[in-house]
Amino acid sequence: MTDTRTTAIETAAHEPGGMTYAGYLALDQLLAAQHPCSDQHDEMLFVIIHQTKELWLKQILHEVALAQALVRAGDLVPAYKSLARVSRIQAVMTQSWDILATMTPADYLRFRGELGASSGFQSDQFRRLEAMLGLKDERFLRFHVERPEAHAALKAAIAAPSLYDDALHQLSRAGLPVPETVLNRDVSQPYQADPGVEAAWLEVYRDTERWWPLYQLAEKLVDLDDALLTWRHKHVVTVERIIGRRRGTGGTDGVGYLVETLNRRCFPELWSLRTAL
């Protein structure tokens, strides 16, 4: 994509008047990327909705990477901007389900067969986001063996510390009692809630003035988790509205699989501590 955009910009720079809107945005390439497989009117909407989600996911990964680098360096306040931006993007992505819901079950069934075994749960960018937030799952690597760059990026995200791992190290560096077993855990594995971590966050929430930067970081993380759960819930409702309880195109249990994802929390202690306050 970078090479294509660079070529478009270089070409536009030599056009009369210099750079153009279409050249800068590589619009010819972007608008030529929709290829419905049937002649059904609603398939174009289905393609554009999902392509748009992937573009937003690209921006989210861009923002989370910056936020993680800042948190890892101890620059908590500058990280808030990127984290807040991600939450806003998540809200836009959630609203887009309402647009897809204008497609009726009959509309969708006319072209569903064209999807074959493809399914949104195979999105490598979404799985990278989950991994960066602490929801690690190596099983999804198998869907990207034929795409070496995507496979390598997802594998690297699974192997690396998550945003939450970095936040917990900042808790420890601030002098809060984060268990060594958590700080030295195998970061390639899914994060498991720990009562010691909850106790450390409780200290932050019980004295917010003293720990204000960490408190604000925690609330920004809850915003991300909240928005992700809201997106998942709207996904469930939209899918059930369109296909009911049919099996998913990728072989999953459809709505049943999606409902299970509603129990996932990226930052579990930031939820459980509210009961203990």
Domains and CATH numbers, the chain: 1-33 (no CATH), 42-276 (1.20.58.480)
pLDDT tens digits, residue range 209-248? 999 999 999 999 999 999 999 988 888 888 888 777 666 5
* Spatial distance between the Cα atoms of 244 and 255, rounded to a whole number of angstroms: 8
The owner of tokens 């999807």 is 115
Residue 26, Ramachandran bin (φ over 0: left; ψ between -120 and 50: alpha; else beta) = left
Confidence (pLDDT) at 86: 96
Q: Which two tokens stand for residue 188?
A: 């390639």
First to last CA, the chain: 48
Confidence (pLDDT) at 256: 64
Q: Is the pLDDT of residue 112 over 70?
A: yes
pLDDT band at 276 (very low <50, low <70, confident <90, very high): very high
* Spatial distance between the Cα atoms of 33 and 147, rounded to a whole number of angstroms: 18
Q: Is the pLDDT of residue 252 over 80?
A: no
Query: Which of the pair, 140 or 32, is modelled with greater confidence?
Result: 32
SS3 160: coil
